[in-house]
Structure 1
């Protein structure tokens, strides 16, 4: 805290300073010059004091809604000129700014020389605060760490409660930690009067009056951080719009003021303002989140529906504008197909266009009108409301499954609403126009890009691209970008098909729904029959050939297209070639071509191309860098080392970059160095913590998978060494002690890793020991497959207590798990798999076997015709040796009480939606899958001649 020393030179804070520009009246308005607000004055002082961490970033051509009237936003590029003198009239922000300026003034070399004049103290006391409150606010604003700032905020206040503008300034920061944002969310929602969001000692029971402009600004800044680090908080913070905008419900069915007492002009003005606010909120809620945007779309849809319900309460309802409709369509385009949409997709022919083919007589009752998707219905309602369809809307219509000529396409799931090029962007790209027809008759490139995207195979996409190429339409990079995506997706498909025999097949279960075209960015193989193919003579190009074709047409890839080319390059040389030849007017990209990069050069590299380059290095982590002349060949660093060096030099806090590096480190440590420890992953997490990079669900899933693989490898290695030592040992007692020591080390390592995972999980979901029952504390429920990875990792490491806590977490948040599963592909199957995995690892851990090891190969060589040895459980390795069996007795065992308690939790009424305690048949199928044996149908025919595995306690 900044202390106060009574004795010393007194620096008087002026209450008000006169002066300013000479422009007055009409000339003042025509010059677009205005006096700064107190907040703008504080921002300017923070900049001059070099507290850039507390200053918001400015983006070009973006209206700042923090001080403009929300219903009168000036057009882009027409921003008023700010004059930061004279100083504003007295306000709390002004005194905080002046105090910061005095503390950071080089002339004020000693803080003790700063004291406060009596008139300033009197003015602050008149507002219900003490000078200690101002000192607290100063320390909050200048704290470099968001955790430190929130800790000071939670520490309390001297006389008056912390004003909301302090929270607004904290939310200006570019990044917040997850814990800091959770507290600011609870604090803000409680501060504006939402009593269902308590926050410890900050109980604001008085009637708080906060204007609607501040409420909307608070919503904007909370939403920005929620999209970045906590998408599950999007729906709760929407109550700021639905409950605190027009809190007296004027003009609605529940109005506290009779509508006839309000003048017509005032009612019209209010409805215009509310229409702008609600539709702007719908648009902001449709922006994709930073982490797992497809899963986060469920929370965004839920928030949009809350606003639509609020709109419907007005008499007449507030109209949904053009932007509002497009925001709703964007979210609907990102959802998985419904059952009816999946049925229609399965009836499409393999040829092109994919017309419907009736498989049975019942299919004749399914009409094209029944195949209109949810996004397609919204597009129709938008036209019925009188809004003309733009090229972007036509492109969205193609993605919903119907072309402009009413021929069918592939309904494609996408996260970005197609956007047509602006006029400025069109001028930058090279346009080849046919002299025979004017440009306005050509289809917009966004429509052609949507057509290429809504195809199934690479051959169909290439045929569509050739149709675009010969149409004399403007050559545009966005169509090439989509074609690049198709080529890369087909290359990924062929690689998966080639490596399918070496990859473990995931456990699907009887209710697994096979994917249909358009569910993801995957490209399907071409039909085997030539009758269903467009042209068997078509030969789609690779990325290098398409890039050469692009440059020959005079089209320069945009920044986004170049980033994709670099990120998905087939090899390191191809990525360097793209950077070298297409850096354009951005010479700051050239340091990526050099071996040695300085911190200054790394800081100037554009974020987009830097992220693409890091993703490339992480994907090709096993490739060595070009040979150094002063480094031996066997010590030549790998590409993953260069990725770590660049991240450290740039001090990047991009979460996607770090997730890719985590995945590369996991593969590097396991398959290259045979490292069975988890220290390398812990070091990476510690570095991320220092840079305030939050671990999201994707990163947590990578950590769980890495810990699981390392624990499995350690266990397999210990058992392989035990088998070889016992077989060749003469001193059996000594060998047994050595094996026991190695096994104890493995279990100790597992215990430490499981505790670390549980700590990461608690931080991720937001469960605090003293507030575990809070329903609105910013808790985040993982998506199903992340929960499965977490449970599987705990079970692999024999953490039965952790499995019990996971069962309790499933019980308490069962409804939210079902909500997340509803909007995920095969989400209900994945969620049920997590529950099955919990019982298997809790009750049948000794029968779980992951992967093949040397011990497994040795066991396969020693197999006999005995039916009991056909089960590939690790316990059978040592059945023939009593000493080895005694060693295995040290394996942690579950207790009957633990199993009964877990069963009680999952059979609880709150967890009934999860399906209850897994049945013996489900356990049987899952264990067969883990063993690598063929999974039998749900009701297999009885055959006593087939060998059956035997599970103790499974009746």
Structure 2
């Protein structure tokens, strides 16, 4: 041959070419392998020549559709991964012809759990239309599907082996034990036969191990089960559980951050044991990849800061496989290329809670993967999937300093070309400043030989340049990971709409899209509805309840593309963008779609409901959208037994948010159908503080929906906690109970009794919501804890005002009108007396969020042996917003020891807090407010000088009269912190150079100008 003997790569390319039967079959393969395409012909030719393979166009086409797989490994690659399933051979014959034998996989453990009450332990259900790498062999897609008569045959291929004998598996025996225990645990000690017992013993385990594994799989709280598993893995008295048990546990739909931490450490222990023990069996590559996939899936939801350590674990775990990492042969290099590029893709998928803030962590994790790829000689190649991962995290991040300089020079007209304002602006060029990091990565991708596809064109639009060379607005965006949504030109037009500054520019882009005649598309509809909804928000007058909050936040200046809000029109008319029709509102546009018979997709419907200006409008959107009747029956509880899949999760969260934004509207005024009202009224009411809740109250209805659908997403839970902490929402408590009022029948000066009552009811309702979340195994996140602290603050302030108010004489003069007032006053006194319990409650929630210190100390000894593998000390680093809210809640409750402990913790973790402040906007200002709040609440600086500290804390228990009058409770609130605590907090604050200095008198005076301080000051000055 011209280039020497044909190597296995050449033989495989030839066999793949021969296995292509028709054009239609090849077309289907194109769809299957589109995610893993390789460079174009320009770069394929030298690569083929390098490996001694003759190049032609057909071979290049075959190369672009699959990654080479060798005949001697075909049988291994067709097998299922070593996982929790029990594989049995299945064969069939027709007309005497022997058919291909395919393994039938039975998930015995899941089938056993379905027959038990441990439904929480069932694995997550993936979409049937989506290939989930955590459930399928990562290399199965690399094997061409062949019919029984067209199997790939090569001279070196061995004949098919006979059926393997049926054999036991530990997971199958574990499933058998779980079925036995659930059916009748008292019948026999165990359900195993003598051969099964011998098999368990031969594997190094005992019957007691099977029982412990069953307890791990069926345990309720994920952290409790993970603790048991970690103890079993690290115990020197027991053999480590099977690797498949860890893989199955990771299939749970939700894991807490503390559970994920322990599982990562358990995985690291297993990997280190396999590496250090030469006699131990090697880990299969697909099992390592499955471990990585499932760890990353949970980390994206609950602990994004650990993504980099999971990437390091993947690199380390690959050393426990059969791959020769020093000089890997060609077929192993192809596997490594696929694994590492797939890892980058998985690391780049947006996180659940804060996808834009977490993009920097994802980029750092991808850098660790790239560094591992570069250590091979020659370095491993980055394929299209890997380039996309890098671009995806770069587009989600904020602008660099050079990109900001370029954005500031853009003209207000469209397209936004550079407009020089001074002679120095000539140095700011498009090449050095106008090309973003994502744009440079796309350029490297083209230089590597990858032709720009629709995905790359959309990314180019978000990076600041249209495909025709005209500029756009560089916009932070979340690029989709599904290739199916980028097969047409619709995403390009959606990106053109999204990369505009004003609603006028966006509407002009949408009209240009309509002129193309492409037809309605979900992505385009979503993009224009988002712009129109933001324009509606901008056009409405500001909400008075949010004015103070916005004024005190001191937001940093944001450039176009850094925020979701649209900009106002340019100051001059000649800078306007021409549109043949005026920009409509969301209502008008939605009505136009309905009149044209366009089906509104669920995501656009969700966006419309989230931005509805009234509860009536949101319900109208719900009914007018696709599947309106089905969604309506499920969300309005017309169906007594709604299915969990009856409503898409985003739509469910949007409807809960709608109910929480308009709690003052009785549902009977929104729903005109009498049968629907009767259906809602017939709901069995729940009790709170001994009274029946009103099922027609939006918040009560929202909690009823949460209890029935039991969502694992934190969004709906956050919405209702936000509603209960909003002072505007508290006015809706007038009809919160069915037959009980939350306001007095007589005079209520300044609404004092009503505010105290509803704030205490709201806090009780918050505690009820948290208990429901715990029953559904949903953990508290930072935003939810922020709202809980705000609800505690509302209660403490209202009870303080009521305690200060002199009510005893008024009640004696009007005893027939004082029942409500007397009960409310007594409840307020009890709330203040139990302030220490409330303070402990929110401190425990913060400890749960950031992680237990004792747990960290115990786990530090486990990971001490690995220098390159060090998990973050904190499960979550609180933001300055949460710290400020927590300080205020403790301060109003008078927990000075809690403030001192919090300050010590902040000093101990000052570096982590500093890293968190770099990711948050206005973090330095919020940190300054937190320091000011420390001194204000410790010294009670909002109280008049003659009142602060004059009433000492009584060492003796207060009398009954004193308790009724509230003097003892009031003294607790008014007394400032001891001097030694104030001095210690001041010393701790001044010991950190990066923090603001101890606030002076002017800072405290400015801080005390807030409305709540002024209300109390008026009461003390009267």
CA RMSD in angstroms comes to 4.2
| Secondary structure of the corresponding residue to residue 563 of structure 2 | coil
1:166-565 equivalence runs, <5 A: 166-193=245-272, 210-246=283-319, 255=326, 259=327, 267-369=329-431, 370-417=433-480, 422=485, 444-495=489-540, 497=542, 499=544, 502-508=547-553, 513-535=556-578, 539-565=582-608
* Preserved contact between residue 130 and residue 160 of structure 1 (Cα < 8 Å): no
The change in CA–CA distance for 1:45 and 1:576 in structure 2 (over 3 A counts) is: same
Structure 2 unaligned spans of 5+: 1-85, 149-162, 683-692, 734-754, 814-822, 861-869, 953-965, 1012-1016, 1018-1022
1:78 shift after superposition: 11
Q: Determine the structure 2 residue equivalent to 1:810.
A: 906
Which of 636, 643, 653 lines up with 2:702 in the alignment? 643
1: distance between equivalents of 2:138 and 2:940? 63
1:334 shift after superposition: 1.5
Q: Please give the per-residue CA displacement for 1:878-933, whole angstroms capped at 9, x wherever unaligned.
A: 6999999997686232234323433444455xx54xx1452446x73464154159
1:916-935 equivalence runs, <5 A: 916=995, 918-920=997-999, 924-925=1002-1003, 927-931=1005-1009
* Preserved contact between residue 948 and residue 975 of structure 2 (Cα < 8 Å): no
1: distance between equivalents of 2:103 and 2:87? 16
1:772 shift after superposition: 5.1
The change in CA–CA distance for 1:411 and 1:650 in structure 2 (over 3 A counts) is: same
The change in CA–CA distance for 1:516 and 1:66 in structure 2 (over 3 A counts) is: closer
1: distance between equivalents of 2:831 and 2:546? 30
Q: Please give the per-residue CA displacement for 1:557-596, whole angstroms capped at 9, x wherever unaligned.
A: 2222222223333333333333334334x86324047564
2: distance between equivalents of 1:537 and 1:117? 81
| Secondary structure of the corresponding residue to residue 175 of structure 2 | helix
1:658 shift after superposition: 0.8
Q: Please give the per-residue CA displacement for 1:274-324, whole angstroms capped at 9, x wherever unaligned.
A: 111111111111112222222222322221111111112122221111111
1: distance between equivalents of 2:764 and 2:147? 52
Q: Please give the per-residue CA displacement for 1:636-673, whole angstroms capped at 9, x wherever unaligned.
A: 83222221122222233331111101112223763433
1: distance between equivalents of 2:178 and 2:490? 52
Which of 702, 714, 718 lines up with 1:655 in the alignment? 714
* Preserved contact between residue 63 and residue 75 of structure 1 (Cα < 8 Å): no
The change in CA–CA distance for 1:209 and 1:684 in structure 2 (over 3 A counts) is: same
Q: Determine the structure 2 residue equivalent to 1:664.
A: 723
2: distance between equivalents of 1:533 and 1:418? 35
2: distance between equivalents of 1:205 and 1:901? 55
| Secondary structure of the corresponding residue to residue 875 of structure 1 | coil
1:21 aligns with 2:104: no
Structure 1 unaligned spans of 5+: 1-15, 197-202, 260-265, 427-442, 729-737, 848-872, 934-948, 950-955
1:161 aligns with 2:255: no
Q: Determine the structure 2 residue equivalent to 1:609.
A: 651
Q: Please give the per-residue CA displacement for 1:364-421, whole angstroms capped at 9, x wherever unaligned.
A: 2211221222222212221121111112221221112222232222211123348675
Q: Determine the structure 1 residue equivalent to 2:885.
A: 789
- Tell me the TM-score normalized by structure 2: 0.73
Q: Which stretch shows the higher mean deviation, 794-803 or 240-249?
A: 240-249
1:891 aligns with 2:891: no
1: distance between equivalents of 2:484 and 2:288? 34
Aligned length: 829
| Secondary structure of the corresponding residue to residue 36 of structure 1 | strand
Q: Which stretch shows the higher mean deviation, 712-721 or 449-458?
A: 712-721
| Secondary structure of the corresponding residue to residue 289 of structure 2 | helix
2: distance between equivalents of 1:724 and 1:459? 63
The change in CA–CA distance for 1:596 and 1:625 in structure 2 (over 3 A counts) is: same
2: distance between equivalents of 1:394 and 1:587? 39
Q: Determine the structure 2 residue equivalent to 1:136.
A: 212
Q: Determine the structure 1 residue equivalent to 2:847.
A: 762
2: distance between equivalents of 1:647 and 1:76? 46
* Preserved contact between residue 373 and residue 380 of structure 2 (Cα < 8 Å): yes
2: distance between equivalents of 1:76 and 1:534? 53
1:761 shift after superposition: 0.4
1: distance between equivalents of 2:937 and 2:421? 44
* Preserved contact between residue 821 and residue 827 of structure 1 (Cα < 8 Å): yes
Q: Determine the structure 1 residue equivalent to 2:631.
A: 589
2: distance between equivalents of 1:331 and 1:385? 20
* Preserved contact between residue 481 and residue 561 of structure 1 (Cα < 8 Å): yes
* Preserved contact between residue 41 and residue 87 of structure 1 (Cα < 8 Å): no
2: distance between equivalents of 1:27 and 1:574? 65
The change in CA–CA distance for 1:366 and 1:902 in structure 2 (over 3 A counts) is: same
